[in-house]
Amino acid sequence: MTGVMESPAPALPGWFTELFAHRRWVRRATPFPHVYVRDVFVDEFYQRLSAEYQRVRRDRSADFHEVQKNYSADSISLTKLQSGPLALFSSREWHDLIAGVAGVPGTGDIEGGVHHHPPESPRGWPHNDLAPAWFAGELPAPDTTQLPGDTVDIQSGAREPGVAARELVRGVAIMFYLANEPNWNAGDGGETALFAHVNGRFDPAPDLLVPPLNNSMVIFECTPRSWHTFAGENVHDRNCLVMWLHRPKSEAVRRWGEGHIVEW
């Protein structure tokens, strides 16, 4: 089942809404609820995003790090992309747009980066992203956002005595595809695999494959059912901005129970 929704929200400033190519985003119900968008931004702005990422990839290789052990991607964090067009993804306007689309009141805390998978990368493992995240200090003001810092370990909350931190849970996942092979075809691999059920099976067949088409995006609320992974077997480099908005842990526990929150 699919439906068409109007976005971005008209309450957002004009300079921001003018970056978008259209306001008709598709809401899909299966294999779990998510929103899919083709041609997210006007071409001029998309080309700026792509060129900036390619420049960063070329000139700042030392800023890329392994995403996770036994996972084929490296990444540059949004914390290192605070100037230029890619800083849009850390803005309060972007945060509030995505939170409104997903129906999840975000805290203003953002985590993420651009992931790069080289050709012939192996498939990942299904996961739902309903994981904890720790951020330093007080709740961000309504017109600001906060990114992970050096004083608090985002996965464990480890910190020096006297450093305040808040334990949150990932609330919304966003994947925006950019700087990929422009003539991607079915069979070229590198999709995002979505699953209706996992049920303990380590390697189930995906129910839907989201292609890595440039200037496209998938958004979903992080729940116990939001199973997804990188599909692998990519013929070309695959680049994807991956980011999360967050909700208070107490809200996630009240909704699903603490046992459904996946510890790192």
Give the SS3 label for residue 194. Answer: strand
Span 80-129, pLDDT tens digits: 999 999 999 999 999 999 999 999 999 999 999 999 999 999 999 999 99
CA torsion 138-139-145-150 (nearest 10°) is 40
CATH number of 105's domain:
2.60.120.620
| Residue 28: Cβ within 10 Å count | 18
- Tens of pLDDT, residue by residue, the chain (264 residues): 677 776 665 588 999 999 999 989 999 999 999 999 999 999 999 999 999 999 999 999 999 999 987 788 999 999 999 999 999 999 999 999 999 999 999 999 999 999 999 999 999 999 999 999 999 999 999 999 999 999 999 999 999 999 999 999 999 999 999 999 999 999 999 999 999 998 766 678 999 999 999 999 999 999 999 999 999 999 999 999 999 999 999 999 999 999 999 987
Please check whether residue 47 is in contact with residue 15, taking contact to mean a CB–CB distance below 8 angstroms: no
Distance CA 37, CA 46 (A): 14
Which residues are CB-neighbours of 189 under 8 A, at least 6 positions away?
231, 232, 233, 234, 235, 238
Q: In sequence order, which ranges of the chain are alpha helices (DSSP H)? A: 14-17, 43-59, 92-102, 249-256
- The number of C-alpha atoms within 13 Å of 176 and in the hemisphere containing its C-beta is 20
What is the domain extent for residue 199?
2-260
Please tell me the total count of domains within the chain: 1
Q: What global pTM score does this model have?
A: 0.95
Distance CA 64, CA 69 (A): 14
Token duo for residue 22: 């259209």
Which residues are CB-neighbours of 183 under 8 A, at least 6 positions away?
none
Please check whether residue 174 is in contact with residue 219, taking contact to mean a CB–CB distance below 8 angstroms: yes
Q: What is the DSSP string of 162-186?
A: T--EEEEEEEEEEEEE-SS-TT--T
- Distance in Å from the first CA to the final CA of the chain: 33
Letter string b/e over residues 224-262, b meaning 16 or more CB atoms within 10 A of that residue's CB:
bbbbbbbbbebebbbbbbbbbbbbbbeebeeeeeeeebe
